[in-house]
Amino acid sequence: MQMTEDARGGFLKAKDVMEIVAILKMQEILREEGIDKLSISLKMALCWLEKLGWSYGQLKNGMYLDGHERPDVVEYQHSFVEHWMGHE
């Protein structure tokens, strides 16, 4: 799906959805489904994202959103804790 491809690092802005809807290829797809909209509002884009299961909020610097539970990271955390406990 176009929105999934356009999501950068797992993030997609409502404004991105508005731009995707305006793409000629997406207009063709929408017309095939009987939808004749050249654009959508920011509020409609937010509604679409919510219906697709995306959540929205403000991204804060220094906040870890993903990756801390990956197997390689968990393994490193365990080895770090064992190494640290060896110093006590």
Whether the CA torsion 24, 30, 43, 59 is positive or negative: it is negative
Q: Where are the domains of the chain?
A: 2-86
Q: What is the distance between the alpha carbons of residues 42 and 48, in angstroms, rounded to a whole number?
A: 10
Q: What is the distance between the alpha carbons of residues 36 and 58, in angstroms, rounded to a whole number?
A: 32
pLDDT band at residue 30 under the 50/70/90 scheme: confident
Give pTM, 2 decimals. 0.49
Question: Could you read off the pLDDT of 34-82 as tens digits, one per residue?
Answer: 888 788 898 988 888 888 777 766 666 655 556 667 788 888 888 888 8
CB 53 within 8 A of CB 47: no
